[in-house]
Chains A and B, each alone.
Chain A
Amino acid sequence: MRFQKYFPVTGLIAAVIAIQLLTYFTDSAYMLTQLTMSAYYSLVIIGLCILMGYAGQISIGHAGFFAIGGYISAFLTTFNLLPHTTNSLVSFFSKTGFLKMSEDLYGGSVLHFQPWAACVMAVLFTIIVAYLIGGPVLKLKGHYLAMATLGFGIIVYRIVLGTSFFGAADGLSDVPPFVIFPGLEVSGKSSARIQNYYIASGLVIAGVIILLNLIDSRIGRALRSIHGAEDAASAMGVNTAKYKLHIFVLSAVFAAVAGALLTHYNGGIGPSEASVMKSVRYVAIVAIGGMANLWGSLIMGFLLNFLSMRGYFGSFDDAVFGAILIIIMLFAPEGLLHKDFFSGIKKMFSRTAKEEEKA
């Protein structure tokens, strides 16, 4: 019985493989690019889903964490340390194997951090920032929490936009591939398209398994009690502040990992990844998925990001997300994939059917 909760995971794995085979047989492997990117964004969304849906804390600043992960990875793997080799810190990193020499486009040599080292540092930095911000921010509620997280997101956006070594408005480019081991790398090369799809999807599956275990554990029950009634939970001895903070940091890490890897996949990152609109989009998708509904958020994250990146929404991209957010919040605040919503619709139709019968 304990493994029952993993049945949907096998379904997810099957769906991931089925989609790849579908693109193979329909000769549309080019779609794997957008599917891979959707998978990375879905990672942010399931992390946010745990924070919003289960711990009940809104964050309109998660694009900030995504951008911190992406920008630090991009910066460390592109910034040339060659003129600074005399610096003791640089030589320390060089001796310990953190650095790597490679050639740039013009044949010059560049000394930069190994992608794995950059990724680890990006995640560590995100953890520090998330703890520092999360401590005071999570004491706030309602409008204040929303505004504070929004403010954090804007600060990150303004900093990357206004800082020259983060490329200002152009962002950072020429980020090297992340070689996990020879033959397996996170990069945008078309020859590595299938393996990248599986790397990203595998990461999402791993994330889902972690979160499913979390939901079903002591922590998960504590979280739901916080969402239900925070005062009651803390009266029962649940250390609400600690749990909220840990979940906040965990969801920030999900966002940072997604940011770092997507940056390697795309070969660069721009300030738009840190924009308020991105944060709002993540929140909207979690809301559409049904807040405390990991699978709903995951499916919606994949689907809506994919549709958006394939350009189905045209120039109304942001407006579509805004409209969906309003409609969901007006008519189905429990989310679209919530069972009550479907039974509600069924009831609505069955009622009209009965009335028609009478007439």
Chain B
Amino acid sequence: MDMNIELFFQYLVAGITYGTIYAIVAIGFNIIYNTTGIINFAQGEFVMLGGMIAVSMHAFMPLPSAILAAVLLTMIIGALIEITFIRWLVKPSVLRMIMITIGLSIIIREGALHIWGESVRALPYFTGTAVTAIDAGGVFISPQVLWVIGISSIVVVALNLFFSYTLLGRQMRACSSNRDAARLCGISAKNMVTFSFVLSAGIGALAGCVVSPITYVQYDSGTGLAIKGFTVAILGGLGNSMAAVAAGMLLGILESFSIWVMPTAYKDVISIAILLLILFVRPSGLFGSKEAFSLKEF
């Protein structure tokens, strides 16, 4: 394939768009991991639920309120899941938590299959249509790409502010750095875990809404996003949300350019091969510290 400069930027834009979404999914992983030490294998399902609910809601209400409703509903689902399945477990082993969250992801996926069927759905483009494009010097950018990048940036900044300046955010951070000390200060660690599920469900759902016009959404689209989100979370160093953004861009761009050397059908193989490679070579992530990693428990 010819490598001209316009095509190069076209792939770059596509890579950044997907990378942003992966980063958002990875941040969802990190929020729960930081407060609980659990990897929530059902994280991708939150993204799928957000997209699906928004599409259904859009039949009755305008787009912004449909998205808001989808995010709120997914947050409620996230809270219910945590309260029903996780809150009352006493020091569950990692293996047990892996199995429970995998089971949850299957139940949510099968539930979605029974509610919405196998059909592929999408929200309409937030502005313009599928063919609207902004010409940026030979590179055509869909306005939806700007929406994805814009909303994701707002989410990242808002999260940072939330964790630095609000009482709730600080309490959550206290729990993640030392659970027992936090409890001695009167913070309810259990409530913080519930909040972390609510927060990451909401972020996942929002990601599902903004990306659905481009990637479409189906009952089983969560698994693929989850594995890529996890790749990005590991790549950046588990628990580090800022590094996840950089890692997300990296994976998105790598994946986008992989089409040059490999058939599209193998696109996912690339990202998972990167995941395995990182796990084998540097499990603390590209930006993580090796010493800190060796102290963590898995």
Decide if A143 touches B298 in the complex (CB within 8 Å): yes
Query: In the assembled complex, which residues on chain B have CB atoms less than 8 Å from the CB atom of A148?
Result: 275-276, 279
Name the distance in Å between B212's Cβ and chain A's nearest Cβ: 22
Of A60, A154, A287, A323, which one neighbours B272 at CB under 8 angstroms? Answer: A154
CB atoms of B110 and A159 under 8 A apart? no
Chain B residues within 8 Å of A146, by CB: 39, 41, 98
A326 interface contact, C-beta 8 A: yes
Instruction: Give Cα A150 to B95, complex, Å.
Output: 14
Tell me the dominant secondary structure on chain B's binding face: helix
Contact with A along B76-106 (1 / 0, CB 8 A): 0000000001000100111110111011111
Q: Per DSSP, are chain A's interface residues mostly helix, strand or loop, or mixed?
A: helix
Assess the B103–A323 pair: CB atoms within 8 A: yes
Residue of B whose beta carbon sits closest to that of A324: B103
For this complex, into which size category does the number of interface residues on chain A fall?
Answer: 35 or more
Chain B's interface size range is 35 or more
A155 to chain B, nearest CB (A): 5
Contact of B85 among A158, A161, A163, A326 (CB under 8 A): A326
Known A58-B95, A162-B266, A329-B96; judge A152-B276 contact (CB<8 A). Answer: yes
- Does the CB pair A326–B104 fall under 8 Å? yes
* CB pair A316 B110 closer than 8 Å: yes
From the candidates A140, A161, A280, A315, name the one contacting B102 in the complex (CB within 8 A). Answer: A280
Within the assembled complex, what's the spacing in Å between the Cα atoms of A322 and B105?
A: 8
A322–B103 contact, CB under 8 A? yes
- Shortest B81–chain A CB gap in Å is 10
CA distance A58 to B223 in the complex (A): 19
Q: Which of B107, B227, B268, B283 contacts A322 (CB 8 A)?
A: B107
Which residues on the A side are within 8 Å of B266 (C-beta)? Answer: 158-159, 162
Cβ-closest chain A residue relative to B298: A142
> Which residues of the partner chain A approach B85 to less than 8 Å between Cβ atoms?
326, 330
- Contacts A/B (CB < 8 Å), 28 sampled: A58-B98, A136-B276, A137-B279, A137-B280, A143-B94, A144-B234, A147-B230, A148-B275, A154-B268, A154-B272, A155-B272, A158-B268, A158-B269, A163-B265, A277-B106, A284-B103, A316-B114, A318-B110, A319-B111, A322-B102, A322-B103, A322-B106, A325-B100, A325-B103, A325-B106, A326-B107, A329-B103, A330-B89
Which B residues are closer than 8 A to A by beta carbons? 39, 41, 85, 89, 92-96, 98-100, 102-107, 109-111, 114, 223, 227, 230, 234, 263, 265-266, 268-269, 272-273, 275-276, 279-280, 283, 298
